[in-house]
Every structure is written in structure tokens, then in C-alpha cells.
Structure 1
Amino acid sequence: MVDVYIDGASAGNPGFSGAGIFINYKNGQVEHHSIPLGLLSNHEAEYEALLLALDLCLERGLTMVSFRTDSKLIDEAVEKRYVKNKRYQPYLHKALEKIDTFDLFFMKWVPSNQNKDADQLARRAIRENAK
């Protein structure tokens, strides 16, 4: 099973945002993705990071994945398959459609200090927006 660490970050709310995705294949191979997202809120950036990571996994044919996020909003929304705020419902709907195609999918909340790689990648992406 592959571990996928995700983080979305925003410099302002809304502000320039970025997604960080760290994929650990557990065989010594890792991938780092730092993706500028333009102007978004912090929660929107978190959802975008989730969607982009799901797409990366599907493109690579990964069917058994364990996602890690330090966003309780994302973790709870995926676990409950529900988000109250209508603004985030389309994001969750897209994510669940993708998640349902995996053979095995886990989402786990981790504290920020266990998600440093994805956080650094998201912060790098924020800086790339200005270029």
C-alpha cells in the first residue's frame, strides 16, 4: 500500500494557494509535487490538494492507497461522506467519485508535525504563484 501525504495552504484567506503532495511507495521511491493553485481559501486549497493527489494516484494505476492529511475538515468530510458547507460540497462529491474507484482507500488525520513534507511542498507552491 502506498502512503500519500497531502496539504493545501493559503497565504491569506483567500490568497495565493498551493497544494503539496508527497507519495511514499515504501520501496525507496518517493514523489514530490508542489502545485500552485492561484487565489483560494485555505479549505479550498485543502480540497484541491486532495483531488490532485487522487488524480495522480489514478494516473499511476495505484489502487490501494493510504492518505494522510493534517486537515480535520478533509478527514471528517471523507470519513462521513458529508460536508455541511455548500461551498465545499462539489469538492467532496468529486473526491468521493474518485475514491470509490480505488480497491482500497484509507484517510487518516495526522498532526502537522507528521505532515511536514506535504506542508513544505504546499508552501513552495504558494511562492511559485508569484512567478
Structure 2
Amino acid sequence: MIEVYIDGASAGNPGPSGAGIFIKGNGVVEKYSIPLGNMSNHEAEYHAFIKALEICIKNGYEIVSFRTDSELVNRAVEKEYVKNKHYAPLLEKALTLSKHFQLFFMKWIPSRENRQADELAREAIRKNN
């Protein structure tokens, strides 16, 4: 099984944002720090999730367990619903991508267990032009 730790971060709300993705399992360790431009923190969390899903699909991973410290994203995926309609297209895209896997899991974790993804997200903020 592949474990995928994701985090989105913004310097300001909205402000320069980044996605941090840390992947491990089956002898694999991958780190991604992806600048996202200007957006809110919640949008950055969704975009980090979508980018991670796309990376896992591209790499041919079939059994994935996603970990996030974003209660908003975790709850939305769990219920397949968002209150704020602004995030509905992002959730829809993520749910569609998640169907590509043989097994897909999503779990909320405390921030202290998501430090690597958080550091990568903060690094990505600094990469914005």
C-alpha cells in the first residue's frame, strides 16, 4: 500500500499558495512541492489533494491511503458533499480521480503527523513568482 500525505498552505487568505505531497510505501519515497498561485488555504488543500491523486494515477499506484490534516477536505470526501458550493467542482474532480484506484482510503491525521507534507507546502509557497 502507498501512503500519501498531503497539505495545502497559503501565505494570506487568499495569498501565494502551495501543495506539499509526501508519498511512501513499497520501497518508494517521493516528495513534491508545487506552487499553486494565489488562492485561499481551503482551495490549496483541495488542489494538493487533486495533484496527489494525479501523481498516483500517473505512477500506476492501485492501492492508496491518503492522509490529510484538513478536516474540511477529509469530511467532504467522506460525505461526498461540501456546504460551500465554491468547492464543489474541486471535490467532484477529486472524487472522479479517486475512482481510478483499486482501493482508496482517506484518513484525517493531526498536524504533527503531517509535518513532511506541511514543510513541502510551505516550500512551494516560496516558489511562487
Give the TM-score taking structure 1 as reference length. 0.97
State the shift of 1:100 in Å: 1.3
TM-score, length basis structure 2 = 0.98
Q: Distance in 2 between matches of 1:26 and 1:92?
A: 28
Report % sequence identity: 63
Letter in 2 for 1:21: I
* Alpha-carbon displacement from aligned partner over 1:88-111 (angstroms, at most 9, x marks no partner): 000000000011121100000000
Secondary structure (helix, strand or coil) at the match of 1:83 reads coil
CA RMSD between the two structures: 0.7
Q: Within 5 Å, give how 1:1-131 maps onto structure 2.
A: 1-27=1-27, 29-130=28-129
Q: How many equivalent pairs are there?
A: 129
Question: Which string of whole-angstrom CA distances, capped at 9 and with x for unpartnered residues, describes residues 40-75 of structure 1?
Answer: 000000000000000000000001000000000000
Runs of 4+ in 1 over 2 A off after TM superposition: none
Q: Which runs of 5+ in 2 are unaligned?
A: none
